[in-house]
């Protein structure tokens, strides 16, 4: 019976200390109707039918040494590196973003918020800088999305040379803004350089963002459902006939 292969399979990684893994799975399964499997970090391989990899938020390994620094040594990350190198889409949110940066799959690093406060805001907005597949095909460039943030170490840092390269290459996908779309100022919750909330790699198949799309995945809840713009774009990408 091949029915389980009808829907693209998302692999949701679980590290010790991950805490948004089930929220991500809920968003993918319940809100999008796709298949999602939790994959423990000690697994040496991804499920054979994996079409996309999601790295959840949380505090993997207690944030020891640096956020995300330990998770990159988990056995499953070798498989994720191979998956990404082959062009497979990989998406990380919050701690997942930190893990992707520490793993070298994304440029830059995430440091303690400039104001030293843990930020927790359901009213955070981000502006889409470059719409398009695989992560933002359901958006249009310039669109404002409301996606919650909750992090203590979300200040994106990258050196000026790399930043210029990323800007030129369209790798800055999301910037912090207010509800009207005005970028920066008080709308930047953590002091990220250039108000960056989300980036992709040069190849375009790996994305990380600090806000939590999985917390904005259901009508009727305070978070709204703008997060499905991001996760749904990835689903559309996977369902596209080859």
Nearer to other proteins, 111 or 119 (CB): 111
CB of 182 to other proteins, least distance (A): 23
Nearer to other proteins, 49 or 159 (CB): 159
Catalytic residue among 101, 212, 215, 225: 212
Nearer to other proteins, 6 or 116 (CB): 116
Contact 64, 72 (CB under 8 A): no
Strand partners, 173: none
Is residue 214 annotated as part of the catalytic site, yes or no?
Answer: yes
CB of 17 to other proteins, least distance (A): 18
- Residue 240: CB partners within 8 Å, gap ≥ 6? 133
CB of 4 to other proteins, least distance (A): 39
Is residue 120 annotated as part of the catalytic site, yes or no?
Answer: no
Catalytic residue among 94, 101, 177, 225: 94
Q: How far apart are CA 172 and CA 194, in angstroms?
A: 9
Nearer to other proteins, 60 or 233 (CB): 60
CB of 148 to other proteins, least distance (A): 23
CB of 111 to other proteins, least distance (A): 6
Residues near other proteins, by CB under 8 A: 65-66, 69, 101-102, 107-109, 111-116, 155, 157-159, 191
Strands 196-200 and 206-209: antiparallel
Nearer to other proteins, 36 or 99 (CB): 99
Catalytic residue among 102, 214, 215, 225: 214
Task: Report, as residue numbers or ranges, the catalytic residues.
Answer: 94, 212, 214
């Amino acid at each position: 019976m091949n029915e389980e292969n009808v829907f693209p399979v998302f692999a949701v990684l679980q590290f010790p200390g991950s805490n948004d893994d089930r929220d991500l799975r809920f968003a993918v399964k319940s809100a999008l109707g796709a298949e999602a499997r939790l994959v423990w970090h000690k697994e040496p391989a991804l499920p054979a039918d994996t079409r996309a990899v999601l790295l959840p938020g949380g505090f993997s390994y207690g944030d020891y040494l640096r956020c995300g620094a330990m998770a990159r040594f988990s056995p499953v990350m070798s498989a994720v590196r191979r998956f990404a190198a082959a062009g497979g889409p990989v998406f990380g949110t919050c701690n997942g973003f930190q893990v992707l940066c520490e793993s070298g799959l994304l440029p830059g690093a995430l440091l303690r918020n400039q104001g030293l406060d843990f930020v927790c805001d359901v009213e955070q907005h981000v502006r889409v800088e470059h719409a398009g597949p695989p992560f933002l095909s359901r958006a249009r460039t310039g669109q404002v999305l409301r996606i919650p943030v909750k992090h203590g170490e979300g200040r994106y840092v990258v050196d000026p040379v790399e930043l210029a390269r990323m800007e030129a290459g369209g790798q800055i996908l999301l910037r912090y803004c207010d509800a009207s779309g005005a970028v920066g100022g008080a709308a930047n919750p953590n002091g990220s350089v250039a108000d960056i909330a989300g980036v992709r790699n040069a190849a375009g198949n790996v994305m990380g963002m600090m806000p939590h799309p999985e917390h904005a995945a259901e009508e009727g809840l305070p978070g709204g459902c703008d997060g499905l713009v991001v996760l749904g774009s990835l689903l559309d990408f996977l369902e596209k006939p080859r």
